[in-house]
Amino acid sequence: MSKTHNFELVIFGGTGDLVTRKLIPSLYSAHFHGNLPANSRIIALGRKSLTKEEYCQYALDKAKLAKVEIDTRQWEKFAKLLDYQILEAGNLPDFEALKSNINTDINNIFYLSTAPNLFKTICENLAKVGLNHGKSRLVLEKPLGHDLKTAKDINDFVATYFKEDQIFRIDHYLGKESVQNLMAIRFGNTLFEALWRRQWISSIQITIAENLGVGTRGDFYNETGALRDMLQNHLLQLLCIVAMEPPFALDADTVRNEKLKVLQSLKPLHEDSVLNDVVSGQYKSGIDNGEPVRGYVEEDNVPESSTTETFVSLKAEIQNWRWAGVPFYLRTGKRLSHQVAEIVVQFKDIPCKIFPFSANNFANRLIIRLQPEETVQLYFLAKRPGDTNELQPVYLDLDFNKMFTNERRTGGYERLLLDVIRGKLTLFVRRDEQEAAWQWVEPILTTWKKLNITPKLYGAGTWGPAASSALLARDGVSWHEELE
């Protein structure tokens, strides 16, 4: 782990939910484990009239609500690093006051945890007061834009004031320990590499399922939807890690170059393929853990007439020598049966069956589960004890939490914040990556709008609309949980 130098971290949107629920607790955790220099500072910016002491108490209360374990003595030490300043994004004198309050001789990190429509104003005002200097870094939260045009517009504007190697486009999934382990499994072992290609793999499924609804984010989510919120970034990033060629090193550009090649190799979507290979859904009322739950249009701050999708699944193909002809099935949604993120690699069946009773639909699957538990399961067939040749599916199960019982699991935001502080770009999305992802999903948005396609309803607590299962059934495939 590289050394962490002194820094000044300035967080725009400092009283927001993401900051108080994720960022501040992650920074506290880094401090607790000795990874933040004592001479560094964290300055939260917001419109609320709060003193430093009031903000520290506010952040502590929010952290406790998020069920973060707090050591009182360590929090008191951490609170000495915290400061608070009132700032309006469009008020230049507030930025001048900010500059007078920070040390520009060390790394200045500006974290924009605000609505994307404020990114331009903030970057422009930072530049006007000279805070876009050589030691400054800019962290941009998703969603970065609403489509390809707006994403390019923001990127063009930000590039006016900051160089590409100063910009950290954050995708918290890339900081998860389990996602890092996915890269380690692929590129740290020879076991799977020979089989990791179209000759031996028949299909791959990538799922990020949530059992919760939109909660208090109804107004934000209604303008975003599952495609923009999850598929365009998290799912496509996982796809890249699963499908990319082995990089020759783990430096930022080498890894991101390989991920970009995957995005550029995706078979383009057109109106017909969107209609045939993409399914959207919206959850209606149902049962979750034995309790009745509301439908999406009954949630707070969601219009009754909303046609925003809370579920999307699709079939993708990668047109290169390694993956040509292998379908990748991607799926994400809210109010689904379980909270899970997993990758299922289905290997091809044996060419000649000599065991007549084999349950071949279970044979030879690799399941890499990213959450809630972090496991790798390898399914294969073995002979049942007795005097017959009957086979049954069995699996090898590797549970990383049990394997590394004495090791601390670093949270995604904590890992990424430390990488920003250390200036490491590998786990952040480069501009061309991001725009390639937007370019690929854009035909879906265009087709939905042009043909006025509305999402299919599915009951809360299920695995989404029936059309999602039918999408795979056309290829003779089933979602992983349907085989259990």
3-state secondary structure of 449: helix
Q: Which of 31, 234, 270, 480 is catalytic?
A: 234
Instruction: Specify the amino acid at residue 452.
Output: N
| Cα–Cα distances in angstroms (integers) from residue 463 to residues 66, 246, 443, 467, in the given order | 27, 33, 25, 11
Q: Of 386, 387, 352, 347, which Cα lies nearest the Cα of 367?
A: 347
Query: Are the CB atoms for 328 and 243 separated by under 8 Å?
Result: yes
Query: Are the CB atoms for 225 and 310 separated by under 8 Å?
Result: yes
Q: Of 440, 467, 435, 439, which Cα lies nearest the Cα of 453?
A: 467
Side-chain half-sphere CA neighbours of 8 within 13 A: 19
3-state secondary structure of 150: helix
Exposure string over 161-183, b if 16+ CB within 10 A, otherwise e: bbeeebbbbbbbbbbbbbbbbbb
Instruction: Specify the amino acid at residue 311.
Output: F
Query: Are the CB atoms for 435 and 232 separated by under 8 Å?
Result: no
Do strands 375-383 and 365-371 pair parallel, antiparallel, or not at all (unpaired)? antiparallel
Exposure string over 347-378, b if 16+ CB within 10 A, otherwise e: beeeeeeeeeebeeebbbbbbbbbbeebbbbb
234 is catalytic: yes
Phi, psi angles (nearest 5°) of residue 139: -110, 125
Query: Are the CB atoms for 468 and 479 separated by under 8 Å?
Result: yes
3-state secondary structure of 187: helix
Cα three-residue angle 147-153-159, rounded to 5 degrees: 130
User: Which ranges constitute the DSSP H helices of 66-162?
Assistant: 72-79, 92-100, 119-128, 148-161
Return d(Cα 169, Cα 431) in angstroms, integer.
Answer: 8
Q: What angle, rounded to 10 degrees, do the helices at 72-79 and 24-32 form? A: 110
Return d(Cα 407, Cα 205) in angstroms, integer.
Answer: 30
Query: Are the CB atoms for 143 and 118 separated by under 8 Å?
Result: no
Return d(Cα 213, Cα 216) in angstroms, integer.
Answer: 9
Which residues are part of the catalytic machinery?
Answer: 234
